[in-house]
Amino acid sequence: MRALLAADRTAGFGGLAVRDVGHPHTAENDVVVRVCAAGFTPGELDWPGTWTDRNGHDRAPSVLGHEVSGVVAELGFGTTGLTIGQRVCGLTDWARDGSLAEYVAVEARNLAPLPADVDHTTAAALPISGLTAWQALFVHATVRPGQSVLIHGAAGAVGSVAVQLAREAGAHVIGTGRADDRDVVLGLGAAEFVDLAADGLDSVGEVDVVLDVIGGDVANRSAALVRAGGTLVSIAGPPENTPRDGRALFFVVEPDRHQLAELLERVRSGRLRVLVGDVLELGDAVSAFTRRRRGKTIIRVDPQGTAPS
């Protein structure tokens, strides 16, 4: 099968190539998914799991991409709950070969059934951004109605989902970004927009929760905005500053079938918009890693899921 391979840690983007590789191995409780569409994160080349397995052993060359939407093609030993031919989407293991390939092996529990009225392109854009936003707001920060939530990078993949979820949860949402993100962020339901370059953070006042996707100076300055009992939750890296009377934490998103099903239900009922950017073929996956566009870039592998398994 064809897949996007990253050759080794030192080669960077120059080590990416679409090549023929072996068919994935199904372990216990796995399924093999025939990939219809896949999502990736440009920063994957810096992630430990891209280069080493869970025992710390070198696993390069590695297949990139960890978001998949497709059709179940094989069941592993003992796998229950999913059936061959079923439409599914989900998040694949960081330390295993990924979804920028014709087939990917995934633990069945990491996948959610994909409703017939959600297309594979949209579904492939949802697992990382959707689960990250959900876990940040509702698992780590426990946002409640009436609270104020400051969401940095609110026009980006994670931020745009977070704005919509926080607003639906009854929060007062303040989104930040660059000047030309304003209309997108307000259109997603934020009550206020802050242009980080022009306005800075001084005008924001105290908030209950900050979701930071940018890190560095933005994260450092945000700690002081968190009111007593509040939370600064970052996905960019461990925060250096902690709120005076609150919590600061960093987490890495985890697969969760139930949360993904909740997100998919919001997509199919029109309550959640996923911002998809470019949609490219697997042969264009190398260039997809290096270009920067608004919205999540999705790689179509077998768009209809029609190839023989």
Distance, in Å, from the CA atom of 19 to the CA atom of 24, rounded to the nearest integer, reads 14
Q: Hey, what are 37's tokens?
A: 């569409």
When the beta carbons of 103 and 289 are compared against ligand NAP, the nearer one is 289
Neighbours of 53 (CB within 10 A): 14
Q: Stretches 88-96, 124-132, 142-150, 241-249: which one binds ligand NAP (CB under 6 A)?
A: 124-132
Q: How far is the CB of 100 from ligand NAP (least distance, A)?
A: 16
Kindly write down the DSSP assignment for every residue of 45-57, as one continuous string. GG-HHHHB-TTS-
Binding flag, residue 157, ligand NAP (CB under 6 A): yes
Looking only at the bridges linking them, the beta strands covering 226-234 and 207-212 are parallel
Collapsing DSSP to helix, strand or coil, 68 comes out as strand
- Interface residue with ligand NAP among 45, 68, 188, 196 (CB under 6 A) is 196
- Interface residue with ligand NAP among 38, 124, 155, 211 (CB under 6 A) is 155
Which ranges of the chain does DSSP label H, i.e. alpha helix?
A: 48-51, 120-124, 127-134, 157-168, 182-187, 216-222, 257-268, 285-290
When the beta carbons of 171 and 235 are compared against ligand NAP, the nearer one is 235
When the beta carbons of 213 and 274 are compared against ligand NAP, the nearer one is 213
- Interface residue with ligand NAP among 159, 230, 239, 246 (CB under 6 A) is 159
Distance, in Å, from the CA atom of 272 to the CA atom of 32, rounded to the nearest integer, reads 28
When the beta carbons of 81 and 216 are compared against ligand NAP, the nearer one is 216
Binding flag, residue 177, ligand NAP (CB under 6 A): yes
Binding flag, residue 158, ligand NAP (CB under 6 A): yes
Site size for ligand NAP, by CB under 6 A? 20
C-alpha dihedral sign at 230, 200, 182, 40: negative
Collapsing DSSP to helix, strand or coil, 124 comes out as helix
Letters for 87-106 (x = contact with ligand NAP by CB under 6 A, - = none) are --------------------
Which residues in 248-277 contact ligand NAP (CB under 6 A)?
252-253
Alpha-carbon separation of residue 309 from 49, 66, 72, 285, 299 (angstroms): 28, 21, 9, 22, 19
Alpha-carbon separation of residue 207 from 151, 172, 243, 291 (angstroms): 10, 9, 11, 34
Neighbours of 4 (CB within 10 A): 28
Cα 25 versus chain centre, distance: 24
Binding flag, residue 175, ligand NAP (CB under 6 A): no
Q: Stretches 69-77, 126-134, 142-150, 201-209: which one binds ligand NAP (CB under 6 A)?
A: 126-134
When the beta carbons of 131 and 285 are compared against ligand NAP, the nearer one is 131
Q: Stretches 65-73, 111-119, 156-164, 261-269: which one binds ligand NAP (CB under 6 A)?
A: 156-164
Which amino acid, one-letter code, is at 239? P
Binding flag, residue 236, ligand NAP (CB under 6 A): yes
Letters for 206-225 (x = contact with ligand NAP by CB under 6 A, - = none) are -------xx-----------
Letters for 5-44 (x = contact with ligand NAP by CB under 6 A, - = none) are ------------------------------------x-x-
Element (DSSP H or E) covering residue 212: strand 207-212
Residues interacting with ligand NAP, by CB under 6 A?
A: 41, 43, 128-129, 132, 153, 155-159, 177-178, 196, 213-214, 235-236, 252-253
